[in-house]
Structure 1
Amino acid sequence: MGFQEFFQRYFVDPIKYNQGYNPVNTTVYAIILGIAVLLLHRMLKRMKIRVDERFFVALIPYIFLGPLMRAMTDVGMLPRTYLTVSPGGYFVIAGFAIAALFIVWRHVGPGEKLYPLYRDVGLLLLGGLLFLLLINLDKTDFRWKYFVYFIPSFLAAEGVIWILSRKFDLIKNNGLLFYTHFYDATTTFVGIQFFGYWEQHVLARTLIDLTGTPAVIYLEKLVILVPIVLILDRYMEDEDPDLINFVKLAMFILGFGPGTRNLLIALMGA
């Protein structure tokens, strides 16, 4: 198999024919993500931008851009191209977020003015996408009954995290991550269990096939999250705090982004 055929089979066709992820592209995308996290952390250090609560709040509009763009693509409001579906769409949004940060940083420097201005640029981009959504609402048949299944499932899932956080400090101290990823798991569970969706990720898809239930996603989340957080908090405590915070920020985005995408796609009837 030549490189062109290999690339077509494992990277192009899965996007073109909506086949989901496979072991090859999953591994490559994971490596790219890891390298990107390290490079972005180094960039932020050189720009003297701290990865703290101010940065997290300023980043929120950009975090919403990816899920909203994907949902609008699936309902036909945006053209389906390699740049509007995952992972290409997330590369595009990341490009916008990095470019906006660099422009704002060049304009005001790394001081207090950076964070609200960076947030406002993100809100402007998000507002443009929401405007496109509003003028294309006729293409959407909102499925409000989704919440009949989502709300009780969500409350039950988050209740489990609340109980675990009372018993384990590791979960309590990283509550936002665990609550967010159980939110993501709930959107997956509800979409598959009640609305006939299917899982695109290799490991989750395999576990669902083996167990016969999408509820296994919750267990998968715990099995993956606990050791990662344990390593970050217990065995990397001497590392740069900004690096630890940035890794956790990336983990948050990996939970909140897909979860919000799933919710919007199901709600908008895609």
Structure 2
Amino acid sequence: MLESLWHFINQYFIQPMYTRSGYNSINTLVYALLFGFGVIYTYKYIIKPLKIPVDERLFWAVTPMVVFGATVRALVDGGVLPENPWLLTPGIFFTAFFLILPPIFLDAKLKLYPKITIGWGSLLALWATYMLVANAKNWRPYELTLLHTFASWAVVMAFYKWKPFDKLYLYAVLAHMYDMGSTVAAIHFYHYREVHWVESHLVRWFGAYAYYPWITVILIVVYYALKYLVTDEEERRFWYLAIYILGLGPAVRDPAQMVLQI
């Protein structure tokens, strides 16, 4: 029984981290459930008790830590840092989470929020960025990523001006557009392989640019689902933050991986 359980965990969760074989239907479902429970738990038992408002300051407070985690993940893929479960996906999410908790608690207790959190995250992000720049081989992938990103941002901002929606969700949308720009550049121009379960099929059938309508539809559905299903405005905005992190993380990681490997 234990041997079968270990074989299952190793096959669907541990091996994909090291072999880069990507996500499968089983670990995708499990990670999605863990993510959902994690968002709910963090809001109800950390953010709310500490009386931290879910506003733009919280978005800015977590951004440096996201940059740190995503860049470190790329440094592992680029061979700059050694492979370690806590530095690979999804371990890096837990690492970044545990690193940001102490400064958030200090900020809340000392009434300095978000100064300590931003300072600590920025220090880590600067170190990771320095390691990236010192080991970069080719910056062309960043140029292609930014070209696609700015084009999509222009469309999003034009729509936002015509039909405004919650500004915090706008940050999440822009983060995912950045992610799409880096993904399209990686797959279309450098023939990287899509590792996500559903998206891998879409890319194989329709090409990398299928990402844009696919993710756009998902973002719209998620926005209205949260709007009608989550009545607490603060909690709903915390979900926006979680979606922002999900977009910004790979958006930073993907071009960083490419400049280290190409």
TM-score normalised by length of structure 1 = 0.87
Provide the alpha-carbon RMSD of the alignment.
2.2
Residue 58 of structure 1 and its aligned partner are, at CA, apart by: 1.9
Following superposition of structure 1 onto structure 2, how do residues 1-270 of structure 1 map, counting pairs within 5 Å?
2-42=4-44, 43-106=46-109, 108=110, 111=111, 113-130=112-129, 132-133=131-132, 137=134, 140-170=135-165, 174-211=169-206, 213-233=207-227, 235-236=228-229, 239-269=231-261
Question: 1-side partners of 2:132 and 2:209: how far apart?
Answer: 32
Aligned to 1:86, what secondary structure does the other structure show? coil
Is the alpha carbon distance of 1:178 and 1:124 closer, same or farther for their aligned partners in structure 2, counting shifts above 3 Å?
A: closer
**Consecutive unaligned residues in structure 1, runs of 5 or more:** none
CA distance in 2, matches of 1:4, 1:123: 39
Where 2:195 maps in the other structure, the secondary structure is coil
1:76 Cα shift?
1.5
Which range moves more in the overlay, 193-202 or 156-165? Answer: 156-165
Measure how far apart 1:194 and its partner are. 0.5
Query: 1:160-183: per-residue Cα shift (whole Å, max 9, x none)?
Result: 323433554448884322222111
Whole-Å Cα distance in 2 between the matches of residues 168 and 105 of structure 1?
A: 36
Structure 2 SS opposite 1:51: coil
- Count of residue pairs brought into register by the alignment: 259
Q: 1:3–1:183: structure 2 CA closer, same or farther, 3 Å change rule?
A: same
Identity of aligned residues (%): 27
128 and 183 in structure 1: CA distance in 2 versus 1, 3 angstrom threshold: closer
* Structure 2 CA distance for partners of 1:163 and 1:121, relative to 1, 3 Å: closer
Are the aligned partners of 1:75 and 1:268 in contact in 2 as well (CA < 8 Å)? yes
Please report how far the alpha carbon of residue 141 of structure 1 lies from its aligned counterpart in structure 2 after TM superposition.
4.2
Q: Deviation per CA, 1:202-235, whole angstroms, max 9, x where unpaired?
A: 1111111122x110111111121101101223x1
